[in-house]
C-alpha cells in the first residue's frame, strides 16, 4: 500500500485557491475592494516568503464565511469553480492524480486552505481524502473560527498522523510515501516522506531540492 500526498495551491492548481477565493468575493461585490484587496495581497506575499502568521490570516479568511448563510456561500462557490478554478487545473495535474489513483495508491490532498474552499476542488480531481484547515461551524453555519489544528507547516504532519491513527495506520503502514508540493512552507512534511517531489517550486524549495537530490517537476 502506497500513500500519495498532494499539496493543492500552486501544485495541483496553477494558482492559489485561497487567494483567488478572496479576490472572487471582491469581484462580485461581497467584500470591499479597498478594505480587503491590499490585505489579501499582503498575506499572500507573507505566505510565499514563509513568514505568514497563520492565525492572523485565518481570522481574515474565515470571518467572511460567518457573515453569510451556507446556502449562499455554496452558490457562490459553484460560480467560483466555473469562473476561476477549472481554468487553474492543468491536464498534467489531472494526469498525475489519475496515475496514482489507477495504481491503487491512497491519495490525499493536504492543504492549508480551508475545506470549504477546497472540498469541491478535491472532488473535481476525483480524490476522496482531503486534509485541510477546518472552519468551525455551528448548526451548519460557519462561526468564523477554526476547528482543530490549522493544516499548515508542522500542522500538516499533526493532521496527517491523526488521520492515519483514526484508520489504524502509521508511517510504517505504507511501502512508499510521496508528497508533491511547491512551497517552502511544506518542508517539514516533505522531509517526512520517502519520496519528496518539488513541483513548480519557489526558490527556497528548489534550492533545498537540488541540494538533497529531490526530483523537481512542473505541472504547467
The answer to whether the CB of 3 falls within 8 A of the CB of 176 is yes
Phi, psi of 160 (to 5 degrees): -65, -45
Cell 448548526 -> residue: 139
From 7, 16, 105, 202, the catalytic residue: 7
Distance CA 198, CA 21 (A): 25
Structure confidence by residue, pLDDT tens digits, 109-157: 999 999 999 999 999 999 999 999 999 989 889 998 898 899 999 999 9
Inter-residue contact 58 to 43 (CB < 8 Å): no
What is the 8-class DSSP label of residue 194?
A: S
Contact assessment for residue 101 and residue 115, using Cβ atoms and an 8 Å cutoff: no
- What is the rounded distance in angstroms from the CA atom of residue 85 to the CA atom of residue 192? 30
Tens digits of per-residue pLDDT, 158-187?
999 999 999 999 999 999 999 999 999 999
The backbone torsions φ and ψ at residue 58, rounded to the nearest 5 degrees and listed phi first, read -65, -35
Q: Give residue 27's pLDDT.
A: 94
- Domain boundaries in the chain? 2-217
| Active-site residue flag, 53 | no
Cβ-contact 135, 113 below 8 angstroms: no
In this prediction the pTM is 0.94
Check if 95 is active-site.
Answer: no
Domain boundaries 2-217, corresponding CATH code: 3.40.50.1000
Encode burial over 29-49: b for 16+ CB neighbours within 10 A, e otherwise.
ebbeeeebeeebeebbeebbe
- The residue from 9, 16, 105, 182 that is catalytic is 9
pLDDT classification of 219: cutoffs 50, 70, 90:
very high
Give 139's DSSP letter: T
C-alpha atoms less than 13 angstroms from C-alpha of 4 in its C-beta half-sphere: 16
Amino acid at each position: 500500500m502506497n500513500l500519495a500526498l498532494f499539496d493543492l495551491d500552486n501544485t495541483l492548481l496553477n494558482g492559489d485557491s485561497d487567494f483567488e477565493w478572496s479576490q472572487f468575493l471582491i469581484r462580485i461585490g461581497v467584500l470591499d475592494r479597498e478594505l480587503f484587496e491590499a490585505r489579501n495581497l499582503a498575506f499572500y506575499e507573507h505566505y510565499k516568503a514563509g513568514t505568514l502568521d497563520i492565525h492572523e490570516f485565518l481570522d481574515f479568511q474565515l470571518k467572511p464565511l460567518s457573515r453569510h448563510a451556507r446556502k449562499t456561500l455554496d452558490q457562490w462557490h459553484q460560480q467560483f469553480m466555473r469562473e476561476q478554478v477549472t481554468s487553474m487545473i492543468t491536464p498534467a495535474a489531472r494526469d498525475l492524480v489519475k496515475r496514482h489513483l489507477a495504481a491503487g495508491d491512497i491519495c490525499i490532498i493536504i492543504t492549508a486552505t480551508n475545506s470549504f474552499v477546497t472540498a469541491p476542488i478535491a472532488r473535481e480531481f476525483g480524490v476522496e481524502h482531503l486534509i485541510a484547515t477546518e472552519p468551525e461551524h455551528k448548526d451548519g453555519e460557519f462561526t468564523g473560527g477554526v476547528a482543530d489544528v490549522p493544516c499548515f507547516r508542522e500542522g500538516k504532519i499533526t493532521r496527517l498522523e491523526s488521520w492515519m491513527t483514526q484508520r489504524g495506520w502509521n508511517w510504517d503502514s505504507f511501502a512508499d510515501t510521496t508528497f508533491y508540493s511547491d512551497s517552502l512552507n511544506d518542508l517539514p512534511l516533505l522531509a517526512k516522506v520517502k519520496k519528496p517531489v518539488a513541483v513548480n517550486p519557489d526558490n527556497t524549495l528548489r534550492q533545498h531540492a537540488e541540494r538533497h537530490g529531490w526530483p523537481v517537476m512542473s505541472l504547467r
